[in-house]
């Protein structure tokens, strides 16, 4: 997913078999991820995982600041700031870090998510020290100018235009739904940002944001790949240890009230020519037994051709060609730290009404609250997760592994959680799945978003194609 | 006032003379391409097996020499519908049984309609490799192609067609390819609704029979799997008839300077495709020099065009150029979505960068950076199961020699500054390019009069 991401070019550049996706969908494994974890005296969390499959190293620097808690009058600022992190630092003027990365055979990107902003490189193994030096330089000494701020305001404005404003279903449901479903501003504002807020950002804003959040005691560094651990530790000490920590503000109250009534909202998408429907349920708190149960319920309901709603809505009824969705559409079911939605969504024909679709889906969803799921269904959900977990570990040169390690370090102070996911998922019994479905798959716990098609299928006169 | 007061605060620590040089690089580690084992069954089906990786996953993919390229003018997307219908069960298994069986192994059986080749694939836990081979064999050889599901699959295709054609990117790509490949399937990206509505089950079964068979198939198995897979493949596929021979009909592409402006009223951006067919094919002496040139010009983040219109001007978010290699036909294009009011300015800058490279070779450092980048990407492309299949498939489609991958990095590094200038001058002539712009016509038409340049 290229949304809220510094650049989309790596998809095109890498070609077959690789994408920029950060959407790990992990479960657990017999494959144990080796993890070394420690903290520098300034608070920087460091998680290392050696793997010599390929002569590559992934460097991930994750800051514990996402769009959720960006300043209230500066929607989209966390993401704009992500772009500014590429605009130069003391020893690397604008463009030089990119040249250092690409010019040495690597790729890089950054993404802004609910609860973190990340910066990562996938580079040939012998370039590791250079990357650590460069990441430390921009953690400590970012140098943004008026000119580069203005430039990136233009780039980010164009990012919002290409992904949202000039795109049918732009922002649906990943950007829209949290705004409708949530009550707390931190969870419910426009994360991409109003264009006028993006344009109003100043260097003073950037300085204040940088000093507050971009400090070692608010960050995690993850390395995955073919490196010598003792040597890597020395370099990390050398480049990061002297960076001063900051005084972090208290975390605001992110909680959502328990939802007691179904919400129905609608919007018109003037660029879309087919209606769409999105449905969001508030999730149980992360890493609780109920959360693990929801991870499995998601698999049963919408992940894969065998899933219950795909079979019902796609195969049996033909209401749509695909039921999409999941937990945390801008990441995975584990890499966030606050209230979250489980969402499913689909595009349908105008001859089918939203209530027809709900009438078909509800007995399936509510069936899970009426009697325990079968062992076969539960086992299939587990094996799908195990397979997806392995895929996430190997994805993109090992980036998926670094993403989980850094997230578990940042949010839980324990990257080794990556190795306990399977056990925790296996503890989910049909009874727990039933109890979880009863509380969290309640109709009164959901928001239904109806997207009306406002663009009456007006493609421009075709100059080619068939007749 | 806030703006003025803030100037220089963050910049204060930045002075060139204080700059520290990056630490020296370490010693590059050796990279060995994964070893594959390729063999041919008696019926002509090719198989490649490669053990790779540390996690117990396997990717299985059948490439079929069949796709849009095999469609006649009245069959646009018939291959797409056929491949979709192949997911609707086999002679002995219902669609739901296929889906459940795939899920039991941790995977999903997918059919991927393509242009020169299409795929049937599944990624599963390594322990299930043998069962997955059996499943893919059944779907390939004995699809039910049920008439009962055709209306639903057709209706899905109609909906997807409408959704795609609402995007400016699909509109632009359709117009761009139609101009380059008139009268050829490559130029027919989308069907009309009435075409889609006319396809009957007989058309689909006929297309399948005439195009899918052992001789047209290459099966790849890459990852961690039981060596018993080889025997399982032989058992599952040796009874498949050889079927039709591979048939390919390359187009005679058209390169002529022209502007195609498609109106998208009130669009906040203009979506552009600028480019032309090029006569360089994979395996030609100019192929890798062309790749290097493209990477330097617009195909990487630090490339000239991206640096200009994104990092300097802020006109756009994700511009990129690419060379697309169809069978015996290639084309180059720059794609970008730019803010409406700078549409003509963006084209001006793109052409400025092309012209600059047509006149002067890049400096050695810039070229070296691009070569290093391509060397690094090459490693990334060859270190995942699906990436490895993608590389092997490319070699197979284009009939390249076995040493293509082995000599790739060496040949990339042999490209000279003069090669890059010569390639740009020879193949990328702005006067012969097609300029497709999808945008708010009323606001941009006047400013586009200079294009194409004479």
**Residues in Cβ contact with A295 at an 8 Å cutoff, skipping those fewer than 6 apart:** A27, A327, A333, A385, A425
Split at pLDDT 50, 70, 90, the class of A418 is very high
Test A90 with B28 for CB contact under 8 angstroms. Answer: no
Strands A92-93 and A88-89, how do they pair?
antiparallel
* Other Cβ atoms closer than 10 A to B316: 27
Decide if A25 contacts A385 (C-beta within 8 A).
Answer: yes
Q: Which of B290, B321, B323 lies closest to B308 in space, CA to CA?
A: B321
Q: CB–CB of A121/A106 below 8 Å?
A: yes
**B245 burial type by CB count under 10 A (0-12 exposed, 13-18 middle, 19+ buried):** exposed
Q: Mutate one of A2, A5, A10, A16 to test the B interface: name it (highest B CB count within 10 A).
A: A16
Between CA B445 and CA B148 the distance in angstroms is 49
Q: Which one has a higher pLDDT value, A336 or A25?
A: A336
Element (H, E) at A378: helix A375-394
Greatest Cα-to-Cα distance within chain B, rounded to the nearest angstrom: 80
Contact at CB, A466 and B73, closer than 8 angstroms: yes
Q: In this predicted complex, what is the ipTM?
A: 0.93
> What pLDDT, on the 0 to 100 scale, is given for residue A411?
98
Q: Using the beta-carbon criterion (under 8 Å), do A150 and B314 form an inter-chain contact?
A: yes
Question: Average pLDDT, whole number, for chain A?
Answer: 92
Residues B271 and B259: their CA atoms lie apart, in Å, by 13
Asked if residue A392 lies in contact with residue B115, where contact means CB atoms within 8 angstroms, the answer is no
pLDDT at A467: 28
Q: What residues of chain A lie within 8 A of the CB of B18, using their CB?
A: 90
Nearest CA in chain B to A203: B6
Measured distance CA(A335)–CA(A331) in Å, rounded: 6
Asked if the Cβ–Cβ distance from B390 to A304 is below 8 Å, we say: no
**CA-based end-to-end distance of chain B:** 48
pLDDT tens profile B138-189: 999 999 999 999 999 999 999 999 999 999 999 999 999 999 999 999 999 9
In A399-438, the residues whose Cβ lies within 8 Å of chain B are none
Q: Answer whether A94 sits within 8 Å of B311, measured CB to CB.
A: yes
pLDDT at A204: 96
Domains of chain A, first to last: 9-240 (3.30.830.10), 263-453 (3.30.830.10)
Strands A219-225 and A117-124: unpaired
B124 vs A contacts (CB less than 8 Å): 387
Structure tokens at A16: 């077959």
Taking an 8 Å cut-off on Cβ atoms, the answer to whether B262 and A461 are in contact is: yes
- What local confidence, expressed as pLDDT, does residue A404 receive? 97
pLDDT at A406: 98
Average pLDDT over residues A254-265: 98
Cross-strand pairs, A277: A346, A450
Measured CA angle at B199 (ends B198, B203), to 5 deg: 140
* A324 has pLDDT over 50: yes
A412/chain B closest Cα distance in angstroms: 25
Show the domains of chain B with their CATH numbers.
37-237 (3.30.830.10), 258-448 (3.30.830.10)
Q: Concatenated DSSP letters for A61-110?
A: EEES--GGGS-TT-TTHHHHHHHHTTSEETTEETTHHHHHHHTTT-EEEE
Which class for A3: exposed (0-12), middle (13-18), buried (19 or more C-beta within 10 A)? buried
Helix (H) or strand (E) holding A38, with range, is: strand A36-39
CB contact under 8 A, B373 and A103: yes
> What residues pair up with B222 in beta bridges, in sequence order?
B50, B59
Please report residues of B whose CB lies closer than 8 A to that of A124.
Answer: 28-29, 376, 379
B269–A158: do the CB atoms touch at under 8 Å?
Answer: yes
d(CA A384, CA A301): 12
Q: Residues of B with CB below 8 A from A304's CB? A: 99, 102-103, 108
A395-416 pLDDT tens trace: 888 999 999 999 999 999 999 9
CA dihedral of residues A176, A460, A464, B326 (deg, nearest 10) = -20
Its pTM stands at: 0.94
Query: How far is B50 from B34, CA to CA, in rounded Å?
Result: 7
CA distance B225 to B51: 7
Residues in chain B with CB shorter than 8 Å from the CB of A463 are: 174-175, 178-179, 260, 262
3-class SS string, B15-78: CHHHCCCCCCCCCCCCCCCCCCEEEECCCCCEEEEEECCCCCEEEEEEEECCCHHHCCCCCCCH
Report residue B353 CA to chain centroid gap. 24
Name the nearest CA neighbour of A276 among A357, A160, A330, A162. Answer: A357
Evaluated on CA atoms B96, B102, B103, B107, the torsion sign reads negative
Chain A stretch 37-96, residues whose beta carbon is closer than 8 A to a beta carbon of chain B:
51, 53-56, 88, 90-91, 93-95
Inspect the interface and report whether the beta carbons of A204 and B316 lie closer than 8 Å: no
CB contact (8 A) between residue B107 and residue A123:
no
- In A, residues 7-46, which contact B (CB 8 Å cutoff)? 7-10, 12-18, 29-31
Search chain B and give the residue with CA nearest A299.
B103
A3 confidence band (pLDDT: 50, 70, 90): confident
For residue A18, the chain B residue with the least C-alpha distance is B387
Among residues A109, A108, A117, which one has the least CA distance to residue A76? A117
The residue of B318, B362, B393, B443 whose CB has the most chain A CBs within 10 angstroms, and thus the best one to mutate to test that interface, is B318
Contact A272 B166 (CB under 8 A): yes
B178 in Cβ contact with A453 (< 8 Å) = no
Q: Which residue(s) pair with A278 in the sheet? A: A345, A449
Condensed to tens digits (0 to 9), the pLDDT of residues A433-449 reads 999 999 999 999 999 99
Q: What is the pLDDT of residue A65?
A: 97
Q: What is the spatial distance between Cα A52 and Cα B53, in angstroms, rounded to a whole number?
A: 10
- What is the helix (H) or strand (E) element at residue B325, kind and residue range? strand B320-326
Query: From the CA of B135, how many Å to the nearest CA of chain A?
Result: 15
The interface residues of chain A toward chain B in range 93-122, judged by CB-CB distance below 8 A, are: 93-95, 98-100, 102-108, 122
Percentage of chain A modeled with pLDDT above 70: 92
Q: How far apart are CA B79 and CA B83, in angstroms?
A: 6
State the pLDDT at residue A456: 56
Instruction: Look at B337 and A391 and tell me if their CB atoms are within 8 Å.
Output: no
Give the C-alpha distances (Å, rounded to integers) separating A233 from A216, A273, A399, A407: 15, 55, 20, 20
- Could A9 and B165 be called an inter-chain contact, meaning their C-beta atoms sit closer than 8 Å? no
Residues of chain B predicted below pLDDT 70: 1-17
**Per-residue pLDDT tens digits for A91-141:** 999 999 999 999 999 999 999 999 999 999 999 999 999 999 999 999 999
**What does DSSP assign to residue A259?**
P
What's the pLDDT at A100?
97
Instruction: Give how far A215 is from chain B: nearest CA, Å.
Output: 15
Q: Name chain A contacts of B162, Cβ cutoff 8 Å.
A: 273-274, 457
Instruction: Nearest by CB to B53, from A304, A394, A397: name it.
Output: A394
């Amino acid at each position: 997913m290229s949304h809220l991401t510094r650049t989309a070019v790596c998809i095109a550049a890498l070609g077959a078999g690789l994408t920029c996706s950060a959407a790990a969908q992990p479960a657990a494994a017999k494959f144990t991820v080796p993890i070394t974890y420690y903290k520098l005296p300034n608070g920087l969390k460091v998680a290392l995982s050696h793997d010599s499959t390929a002569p590559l190293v992934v460097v991930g620097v994750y800051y514990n600041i996402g769009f959720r808690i960006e300043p209230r009058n500066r929607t989209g600022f966390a993401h704009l700031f992500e772009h500014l992190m590429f605009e130069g630092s003391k020893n690397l003027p604008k463009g030089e870090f990119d040249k250092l990365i690409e010019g040495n055979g690597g790729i890089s990107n950054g993404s802004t998510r609910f609860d973190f902003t990340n910066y990562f490189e996938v580079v040939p193994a012998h370039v590791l020290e250079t990357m650590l030096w460069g990441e430390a330089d921009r953690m400590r000494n970012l140098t943004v100018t008026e000119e580069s701020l203005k430039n990136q305001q233009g780039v980010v404005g164009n990012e919002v235009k290409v992904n949202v404003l000039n795109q049918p279903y732009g922002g649906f449901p990943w950007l829209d739904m949290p705004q409708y479903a949530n009550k707390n501003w931190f969870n419910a504002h426009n994360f991409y940002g109003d264009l006028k807020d993006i344009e109003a950002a100043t260097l003073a804003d950037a300085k204040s944001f940088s000093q507050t959040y971009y400090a070692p005691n608010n960050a995690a560094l993850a390395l995955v790949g073919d490196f010598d651990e003792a040597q890597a530790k020395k370099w990390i000490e050398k480049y990061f240890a002297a960076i001063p920590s900051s005084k972090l503000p208290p975390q605001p109250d992110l909680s959502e009230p328990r939802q007691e009534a179904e919400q129905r909202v609608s919007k018109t998408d003037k660029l879309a020519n087919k209606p769409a429907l999105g449905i969001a349920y508030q999730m149980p708190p992360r890493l609780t037994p109920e959360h693990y149960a929801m991870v499995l319920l998601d698999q049963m309901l919408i992940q894969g051709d065998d899933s219950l709603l795909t079979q019902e809505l796609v195969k049996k009824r033909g209401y749509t060609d695909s039921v999409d969705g999941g937990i945390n559409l801008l990441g995975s079911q584990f890499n966030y730290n606050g209230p979250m939605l489980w969402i499913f969504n689909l595009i349908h024909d105008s001859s089918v009404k939203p209530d027809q679709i709900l009438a078909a889906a509800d007995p399936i969803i509510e069936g899970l609250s009426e009697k325990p799921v079968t062992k076969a269904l539960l086992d299939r959900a587990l094996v799908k997760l195990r397979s997806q977990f392995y895929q996430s570990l190997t994805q993109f040169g090992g980036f998926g592994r670094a993403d989980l390690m850094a997230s578990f370090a940042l949010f839980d102070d324990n990257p080794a959680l990556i190795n306990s996911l399977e056990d925790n998922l296996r503890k989910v019994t049909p009874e727990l799945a039933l109890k979880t479905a009863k509380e969290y798959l309640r109709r009164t716990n959901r928001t239904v978003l109806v997207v009306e098609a406002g663009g009456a299928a007006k493609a421009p006169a075709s100059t080619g194609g068939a007749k | 006032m806030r703006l003025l007061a803030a100037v220089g605060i963050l910049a204060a620590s930045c002075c060139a003379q204080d700059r520290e040089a990056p630490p020296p690089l370490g010693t590059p580690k050796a990279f060995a391409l994964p070893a594959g084992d390729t063999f041919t069954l008696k019926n002509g089906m090719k198989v490649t097996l490669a053990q790779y990786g540390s996690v117990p996953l396997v990717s299985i993919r059948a490439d079929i020499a069949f796709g849009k390229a095999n469609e006649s003018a009245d069959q646009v997307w018939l291959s797409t519908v056929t491949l979709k219908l192949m997911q609707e069960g086999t002679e002995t298994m219902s669609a739901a049984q296929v889906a459940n069986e795939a899920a039991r192994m941790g995977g999903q059986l997918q059919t991927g309609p393509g242009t020169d080749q299409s795929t049937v694939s599944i990624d599963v836990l390594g322990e299930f490799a043998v069962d997955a081979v059996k499943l893919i064999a059944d779907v390939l050889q004995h699809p039910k192609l049920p008439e009962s599901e055709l209306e639903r699959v057709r209706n899905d295709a109609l909906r997807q067609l409408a959704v795609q054609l609402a995007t400016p990117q699909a509109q632009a790509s359709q117009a761009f390819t139609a101009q380059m490949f008139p009268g050829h399937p490559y130029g027919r990206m989308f069907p009309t609704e009435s075409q889609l509505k006319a396809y009957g089950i007989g058309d689909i079964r006929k297309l399948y029979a005439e195009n899918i068979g052992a001789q047209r198939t290459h099966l790849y198995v890459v990852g961690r799997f039981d060596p018993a897979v080889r025997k399982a493949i032989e058992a599952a596929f040796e009874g498949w008839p050889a079927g039709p021979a591979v048939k390919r009909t390359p187009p005679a592409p058209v390169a002529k300077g022209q502007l195609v402006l498609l109106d998208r009223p009130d669009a906040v951006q203009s979506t552009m495709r600028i480019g032309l067919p090029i006569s360089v094919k994979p395996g030609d002496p100019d192929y890798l020099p062309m790749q290097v040139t493209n990477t330097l010009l617009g195909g990487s983040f630090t490339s000239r065009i991206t640096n200009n219109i994104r990092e300097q001007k802020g006109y756009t978010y994700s511009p990129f150029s690419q060379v697309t290699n169809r069978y015996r036909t290639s084309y180059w294009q720059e794609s970008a979505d730019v803010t409406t009011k700078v549409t003509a300015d963006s084209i001006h800058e793109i052409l400025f960068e092309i012209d600059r490279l047509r006149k002067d070779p890049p400096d050695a450092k810039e070229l070296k950076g691009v070569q290093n980048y391509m060397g690094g990407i090459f490693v990334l492309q060859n270190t995942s199961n699906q990436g490895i299949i993608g590389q092997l498939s490319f070699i197979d489609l284009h009939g390249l020699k076995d040493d293509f991958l082995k000599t790739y990095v060496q040949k990339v590094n042999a490209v000279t500054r003069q090669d890059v200038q010569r390639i740009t001058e020879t193949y990328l002539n702005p006067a012969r390019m097609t300029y497709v712009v999808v945008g708010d016509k009323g606001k941009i038409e006047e400013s586009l009069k200079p294009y194409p340049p004479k």
